[in-house]
């Protein structure tokens, strides 16, 4: 079950760490966010090392839909209520800047980069679209309302963000990562104040950045309360009519559309990790109904960390860790969030003032409705009587019959049937009881 991106790119291979080394900045995690951070710091002349537990970009990054857009669903009218107009404007500006930074970087890389309009459509709620447009007008962003869409389903219109982008993420990273100071197959087993112990060596550092998707340190930051994970699904379809632009449904589990060459990437079927959902069946049924001549060439799933308020956590890991930083909780929008993180974290490790620090601060208020939902989910699964328990914090594991894995509803760790770790925050395998 490989994504379409894995067919078209070969990333460079790096040796594991062997022996002790020293660096000014250690980056832990080699996905899009980690590699962008390493690239930015190298450009600034900072002595940096990146360590990856497996291979580069083989976690969530390889399973993205690779939309580069500041339109994160119908988020802006909700953010204005949750965090205020000024911080919402800053959130928008940070993501628009990230889009332009991708445009600049990709201009010198053969990575299928193309400028595309992005649309969030609704099947039946025109009022939600109008609310979003009103919010964007207050933010002075030139979004547009579109009445008619080239989609095979009825809608009441869409909000359009003009001149967003899409690309091939692994072709992009294959070039961007080449020559960076990277160690693959180098898992951090223990992290101290200024050192990280791996299997075959220790890295001493002045500052560290954690870009491991879900932060793995539980004693700081309360990320086990602030985050939960969602799975979503994609099928790649050949022999379908071309759909210009990129699209996302506003409703829960709305479908996503974008072309990659002559192939349509159809996404949806999502659910909280450890729960039941539509999975690929929803997408395959849709394809059979609306694209009866189509052929599925690839299908894959991804997993996203969701924050309490819809804004990523980018900054100091916690108030008590001045030299430890984090980027997580990208809420399904990992491309612009990764680039925004690279810019913000590069400034923070260099003690440069950045205007977006407070917007993305991991230490902002946790008093959100989602906190109670996360707490209830953890309580229920901690009290569930079963021997099949996640080694992260002990929650009951649930069998995922579609993907044949054991999944944790609390924090999203996933394991093969034999107990081999698939997705963090667990850092080791689970041993099924005999």
pLDDT score, position 92: 98
pLDDT at 393 over 90: no
Tally of CB atoms within 10 A around 93: 17
- What's the pLDDT band for 434 if we cut at 50, 70, 90? low
Q: Where in the chain is the domain with CATH 3.50.50.60?
A: 4-64+171-225+309-360
pLDDT at 107 over 70: yes
Sign of the Cα pseudo-torsion (205, 206, 212, 217, in order):
positive
pLDDT score, position 409: 87
Closest to 227 (Cα-Cα) out of 114, 337, 377, 125? 377
Q: What is the mean pLDDT of residues 404-411?
A: 88
Q: Is-contact 247 121, C-beta < 8 A?
A: yes
pLDDT score, position 420: 86
Q: Is-contact 325 205, C-beta < 8 A?
A: no
pLDDT single digits (tens) 239-248 = 999 999 999 9
Q: What is the mean pLDDT of residues 354-360?
A: 97
pLDDT at 429 over 90: no
pLDDT score, position 1: 66
Bridge partners of residue 272, in order along the sequence = 230
pLDDT single digits (tens) 110-168 = 999 999 999 999 999 999 999 999 999 999 999 999 999 999 999 999 999 999 999 99
Of 126-140, 342-356, 392-406, the least confident: 392-406
Q: Pick the residue with more confidence: 256 or 10? A: 256
For the chain, how are helix, strand and coil distributed in percent, rounded to 5?
30, 25, 45
Residues recorded for the chain: 434
Compute the distance between CA of residue 340 and CA of residue 57 in angstroms, rounded to an integer. 18
pLDDT score, position 127: 97
Q: What is the mean pLDDT of residues 65-88?
A: 97
Tracing tokens 């690779």 back to the chain, one arrives at 66
Of all residues in the chain, the percent with pLDDT exceeding 70 is 99
Q: What is the largest distance, in Å, between two alpha-carbon atoms of the chain?
A: 61
Which residues, at least 6 apart from 15, have a Cβ–Cβ distance to it below 8 Å?
Answer: 183, 184
- What's the pLDDT band for 21 if we cut at 50, 70, 90? very high
pLDDT at 391 over 90: no
Q: What is the mean pLDDT of residues 211-219?
A: 91
pTM strictly above 0.75: yes
Q: Where in the chain is the domain with CATH 2.102.10.10?
A: 369-423
pLDDT single digits (tens) 165-210 = 999 999 999 999 999 999 999 999 999 999 999 999 999 999 999 9
Q: Which CATH number fits the domain 369-423, given the four candidates 2.102.10.10, 1.20.1090.10, 3.40.50.300, 1.25.40.10?
A: 2.102.10.10
pLDDT score, position 94: 98
Euclidean distance between the first and the last CA atom of the chain, given in angstroms as a whole number: 29
CA distances from 96 to 60, 79, 91, 92, 178 (A): 22, 16, 9, 6, 26
Tokens standing for residue 297: 């060439």
Using the CB atoms, write b or e for 207-243: b if 16+ within 10 Å: bbbbbbbbbbbeebbebbebbbbbbbbbbbbeebeeb
Q: Pick the residue with more confidence: 120 or 396? A: 120
CA distances from 161 to 114, 132, 337, 385, 397 (A): 15, 12, 17, 48, 40
| CATH fourth-level superfamily of 113-167+227-306 | D-Amino Acid Oxidase, subunit A, domain 2 (3.30.9.10)
| CATH fourth-level superfamily of 4-64+171-225+309-360 | FAD/NAD(P)-binding domain (3.50.50.60)
Task: Judge residue 8's burial from the number of C-beta atoms within 10 Å of its C-beta, 0-12 exposed, 13-18 middle, 19 or more buried.
Answer: middle
Q: Where in the chain is the domain with CATH 3.30.9.10?
A: 113-167+227-306
Q: Reduced to 3 states, what is the DSSP secondary structure of residue 21?
A: strand
Tokens standing for residue 206: 């002045």
pLDDT score, position 432: 73
CA distances from 264 to 4, 218, 239, 303, 404 (A): 11, 40, 9, 20, 26
CA distances from 320 to 197, 207, 425 (A): 21, 14, 21
**Mean of all residue pLDDT scores within the chain:** 94
pLDDT at 376 over 90: no
Of all residues in the chain, the percent with pLDDT exceeding 90 is 77
pLDDT score, position 404: 86
- What's the pLDDT band for 267 if we cut at 50, 70, 90? very high
Which residues, at least 6 apart from 265, have a Cβ–Cβ distance to it below 8 Å?
Answer: 4, 65, 234, 235, 236, 237, 256, 257, 258, 259
């Amino acid at each position: 079950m490989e994504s379409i991106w894995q067919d078209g790119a070969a990333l460079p291979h790096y040796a594991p760490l062997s022996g002790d080394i020293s660096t000014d900045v250690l980056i832990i995690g080699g996905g899009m966010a980690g590699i962008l951070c390493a690239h930015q710091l190298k450009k600034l002349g900072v002595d940096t090392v990146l360590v990856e537990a497996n291979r580069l970009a083989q976690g969530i990054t390889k399973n993205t839909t690779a939309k580069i857009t500041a339109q994160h669903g119908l988020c802006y009218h909700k953010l204005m209520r949750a965090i205020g107009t000024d911080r919402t404007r800053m959130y928008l500006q940070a993501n628009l800047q990230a889009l332009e930074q991708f445009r600049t970087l990709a201009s010198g890389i053969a990575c299928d980069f193309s400028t595309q309009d992005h649309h969030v459509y609704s099947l039946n709620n025109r009022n939600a679209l109008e609310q979003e447009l009103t919010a964007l007008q207050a933010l002075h962003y030139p979004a547009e309302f579109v009445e008619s869409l080239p989609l095979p389903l009825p809608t009441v219109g869409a909000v359009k963000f003009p001149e967003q982008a899409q690309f091939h993420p692994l072709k992009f990273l294959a070039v961007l990562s080449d020559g960076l100071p990277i160690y693959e197959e180098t898992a951090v087993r223990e992290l101290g104040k200024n050192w990280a112990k791996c299997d075959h060596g220790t890295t001493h550092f002045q500052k560290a950045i954690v870009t491991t998707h879900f932060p793995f340190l539980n004693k700081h930051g309360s990320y086990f309360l602030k985050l939960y994970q969602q799975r979503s699904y994609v099928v790649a379809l050949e022999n379908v009519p071309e759909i210009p632009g990129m699209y996302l449904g506003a409703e829960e589990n709305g479908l996503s559309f974008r072309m990659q060459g002559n192939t349509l990437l159809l996404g949806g079927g999502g659910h909280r990790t450890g729960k039941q959902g539509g999975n690929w069946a929803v997408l395959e049924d849709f394809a059979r109904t609306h694209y009866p001549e189509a052929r599925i060439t690839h299908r894959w799933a991804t997993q996203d960390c969701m924050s309490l308020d819809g804004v990523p956590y980018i900054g100091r890991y916690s108030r008590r860790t001045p030299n430890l930083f984090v980027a997580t909780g990208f809420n399904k929008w990992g491309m612009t969030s990764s680039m925004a993180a690279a810019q913000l974290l590069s400034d923070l490790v260099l003690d440069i003032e950045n205007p977006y620090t407070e917007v993305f601060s991991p230490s902002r208020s946790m008093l959100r409705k989602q906190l109670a939902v996360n707490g209830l989910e953890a309580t229920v699964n901690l009290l569930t009587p079963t021997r099949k328990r996640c080694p992260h914090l002990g929650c009951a594991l649930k069998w995922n019959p579609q993907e044949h894995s054991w999944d944790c509803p609390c924090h999203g760790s996933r394991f093969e049937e034999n107990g081999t770790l698939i997705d963090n925050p667990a850092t080791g395998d689970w041993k099924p009881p005999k």
